[in-house]
Homo-oligomer: A and B are copies of this chain.
Amino acid sequence: MQRVRQRKPQEFDRVLSSMCTEPHPRAHEAAVEFLATNPGDPATYQTVADLETEAVDQLGEIAGLDDAYGYIASGGTEANIQAVHAARNLADGADTAGGDAASDPNIVAPTSVHFSVTKAAEMLGVELRTVPVDDDYRADLDAVAAAVDDDTLLVIGVAGSTEYGRVDPIPAMADIAHDADARMHVDASWGGFILPFTDYEWSFADAPIDSMAIDPHKFGQAPVPAGGLLARERETVDALAVDTPYLETTSQATLTGTRSGAGVAGAVAAMDELWPAGYRQQYREQQANADFLADEFAARGIKVVEPTLPLVTASLSPATFEALRDEEWRIARTADGDLRIVCMPHVTRAALEAFLTDLDRVRS
């Protein structure tokens, strides 16, 4: 296997653009141990299937939900797709039961919603109505209320947005959704493991939300692939289930079939090790890093968006951005072209200082 052996993965010391990170050493160890397991076939791979149950319980604890339903997904994209999927199927079920189901069903989300929701809507044949955000990049409640109608299946709020790290007004959005007999989903894929240490209202305990995406493989420090779909009621998962003829289990609610036991075991190991003290410490360190970086940008006269979570967005010229990419900094841009730096657990203060040194040198 020359081709693989000759090459090494990227080092993380210059990765400032990713919402993934280096797994915790214990999570890495567990993932390696369970590499050849498949929680998608629980009758064959029982131990890892048990671990998945524990992972869902633990995610529920983090997200303020006793008796959580759900599963370990391939990531936030799958969890978001399945939340839309469940909402669509539950509405269809209401239809066949004699209800007044939507002929042209829609879902409502702010423009800040992750593009996985675009995938979901396109696949599932529902209209995605995106509504504006306010001056602080959070879903505009008036716009949400105006977009929701009798054909709305689902309202989606973001708890830690991809581009600005913002948390939508979840409780108010849930009220709007439920007043219209729609469901409420929260995408906390990125934010779920840091928001418990903030004052934000984002969780199942804070609002009557129906489902959530919360990813162990982001701030949870689990290895990829380990996303999480959580639901308050069993019906959400039941609405996703298909029969499984040849497995010694009766149905499967996941989008994928064979799944990664490494992700499941790694997620359990990381949460066992880090919840809550380790995650709290990580949040504080990375929020401090983000605040430091934002201050440094501001001191240089660079326009910066206040990092209310550990994600810094700032205006750089395209030439400067490219020059930093040429220095091997792994950085990315928002849709509006702003530099976006995600302070994940692998990001050190020293790395940010080195980045600033390079910035000062190449800036144009």
Listed in ascending order, the chain A residues whose CB lies under 8 Å from chain B are: 1-5, 7-10, 12, 15, 17-23, 26, 28, 30-38, 41, 43-48, 50-51, 54, 74-78, 81, 85, 114-116, 118-119, 122-125, 162-163, 215, 217, 223-225, 227, 242-248, 252, 255-263, 265, 268-270, 272-273, 325, 330, 332-335, 340
Contact = CB atoms under 8 A, between A and B. Distances in A.
A119 B242 contact: yes
A335 B122 CA distance: 33
Given A9-B48, A36-B224, A246-B340, 19 more contacts: A4-B26, A4-B30, A7-B50, A8-B33, A32-B35, A35-B223, A35-B262, A44-B330, A74-B74, A74-B259, A75-B259, A76-B257, A77-B255, A77-B257, A85-B123, A123-B123, A224-B258, A246-B334, A248-B325
B35 A23 contact: yes
A217 B262 CA distance: 14
Nearest to A218: B258
Smallest CB-CB A-B distances: 8 pairs: A77-B257, A1-B272, A245-B335, A1-B269, A75-B258, A44-B330, A4-B269, A4-B30
B44 A332 contact: yes
A261 B9 contact: yes
B54 A3 contact: yes
A253 B13 CA distance: 29
A77 B252 CA distance: 12
A258 B333 contact: no
A179 to B, nearest CB: 28
Given A242-B122, A256-B78, A258-B76, A8 B272 contact: no
Given A18-B38, A54-B3, A9 B246 contact: no
A79 to B, nearest CB: 10
15 contacts: A1-B268, A4-B33, A4-B272, A5-B30, A17-B41, A20-B36, A23-B36, A85-B123, A115-B244, A125-B125, A163-B245, A248-B332, A248-B333, A256-B256, A262-B262
A58 to B, nearest CB: 9
Most buried by B among A4, A10, A47, A247: A4
B26 A9 contact: no
Contacts of A248: 17, 325, 332-333
Nearest to A50: B7
Nearest to A215: B258
